[in-house]
A and B are shown apart, each in its own frame.
Chain A
Amino acid sequence: MIEFIHVEKIYSNKVKALQDVNVKIDKGEFVAVIGLSGAGKSTLIRCINRMHDITSGKLIVDGVEVNTLKGKQIRTFRKRIGMIFQSFNLVTRTSVLKNVLVSFVPDLPFWRKVTGIFSKEHKIEALTALDQVGILDKAYVRVDQLSGGQQQRVALARTLAQQPDIILADEPIASLDPVTAKQVMDDFQRINEELKISVIMNIHHVEMALQYAERIIGVRDGKIVFDGKTEAVTQEVLDYIYKGEREVQQAVEGEQAYV
């Protein structure tokens, strides 16, 4: 369970990226975070695994107060949280399998860390993760020879191999074409349902968000302006999240507005 209590984040350049954020996310939920560019979505997600420090408030993940962790504790904590990026962030010069194996590195004995020689068990685990996202046959191909969608699946497999409880995804489909995007979203859904991993996803594509997520969080100017079940999201809610105008909300009230 993830719980934000009065969380505030101010960057070193005085930008207030999060203000008084209060959110509670239960295990196994599929949450989509939507909002304009610069609203603070990435910041919100990155605070969860302490890629960013929060300035004040409390952020509790599974009973652990995240902002009190230090050094090694942070890294141990991060192992339980997978992260997916818009630009995949793979090591493109090496093979798919090696990219997945990387997720075992923090637990390896020193000599294996240095040499990068992995045991057979780990290789099988990594291949299993690749199988789960349907690209087992690409295991020995270099990443730069794959399509964008395939690369995002490698990233997904890397995260699965970590066996996380939570997956954070920062605009995972923003650089994919609509068809591939749909396939990747299907993967996320399957992982969420079958493995009971919570998914928290930033996404610009509202239709996708509404189709796949159970719950929508709307962010504007660092504040949570909407938090509720997907069914409750209407056009006026979207306008409110994206434009922030009450008038607009009133204006559309009468019309049948559902996306």
Chain B
Amino acid sequence: MYDKIFPPKRIALPNGKVVEQKRSRMPIVLVLLFLALYYSIQFTDFELSVLLDRWKEFFFIVFEMIPPQWDYFPHIWQPLIDTIKMSLLGSVLGSVVAIPVAYLASSNVVKNRALVSGTKVFLSLLRTLPTLVTALIATFIFGLGTLAGTVAIFIFTLAYVGKLLYEQIENVEMGSFEAMESLGMNRMQAFRYAIFPQVSPNFLSTALFCFEGNVRYAAILGYVGAGGIGLLLNEGLGWRDYPSVGMILFMLVITVFFIERISEHFRKRLI
């Protein structure tokens, strides 16, 4: 298409041969980018002058957080643990449920086309729902509290791990699967013994990675009443009690850092 509007440049070599060089798409990409930026600025009321004028406000809050209010710690401890528990439970359950769902979404093990594409569409729909929205809906159904948060994390994990898992399953070497079938196994058994061993290290690694992200994300779920430390964060910000907010963020950073270290350690060993 593009090459038709802007015909390729012809370069004649000294020996008479002609080489066609395709026109670079760079100019049109740049024009589009500038247009997008221009309209984005219009749409969002972006004003550099405001920013230059008032950026200090942001750091004003930051400096209020320092030093954090250390004796707020006892209040934080319980919700923080709750946040970790929520993410752990949601991640474990989500990853476990992701296995049968990914099985159903893999076109190389399930022969029913409709079932396979149905499951795939289901997974991508789940994945597009922002977790905070799922959490909010969950609070209407399961009431305020950690259960709603757990459900939201469960759904996100299911969608994320499920998608990565079925992609791996579909890329697996099918020879051993065939061999298992020739031994008299049914497809489910052949999956368990031929495909699962091939994908399981990656699966565990994905699940751990997802758990890492979930801890971080679970911290804001309390904001919509779905349990955990987000509730305190909401309160602290509402009351403009910035030293307490600073303490919460500090604890959060430490927790996330350690969980990342531990998970990274195990993920390195898996691959």
Contacts and interface: CB of A to CB of B under 8 A. Distances in A.
Given A89-B176, A93-B198, A78 B193 contact: no
A103 B189 CA distance: 11
Q: Is the interface of B mostly helix, strand, loop or mixed?
A: helix
Contacts of B181: 51, 78
A92 B189 CA distance: 17
B105 to A, nearest CB: 21
A75 interface: yes
Interface in A87-111: 87-94, 98, 102-103, 105-106
B179 A114 contact: no
A111 B259 CA distance: 33
A81 B181 CA distance: 11
Given A91-B194, A91-B197, A93-B198, A106 B185 contact: yes
Contacts of B185: 75, 105-106
| Chain B CB within 10 Å, residue with most, of A76, A87, A105 | A105
B179 A83 contact: yes
B198 A91 contact: yes
A49 B185 CA distance: 13
Contacts of B175: 85, 87-89
Interface size class of A (residues with CB under 8 A): 20 to 34
Nearest to B188: A113
B189 A106 contact: yes
Given A114-B192, A116-B193, A155 B183 contact: no
Interface residues of B, number: 18
Nearest to A79: B184
A83 B189 contact: no
Nearest to B182: A83
A113 B183 contact: no
B179 A85 contact: yes
Nearest to A104: B183
A32 B201 CA distance: 41
17 contacts: A49-B182, A51-B178, A75-B184, A75-B185, A79-B184, A83-B179, A83-B183, A89-B176, A89-B179, A92-B198, A93-B198, A94-B197, A105-B185, A105-B193, A106-B189, A116-B193, A155-B179
Interface of B: 175-176, 178-186, 189, 192-194, 197-198, 201
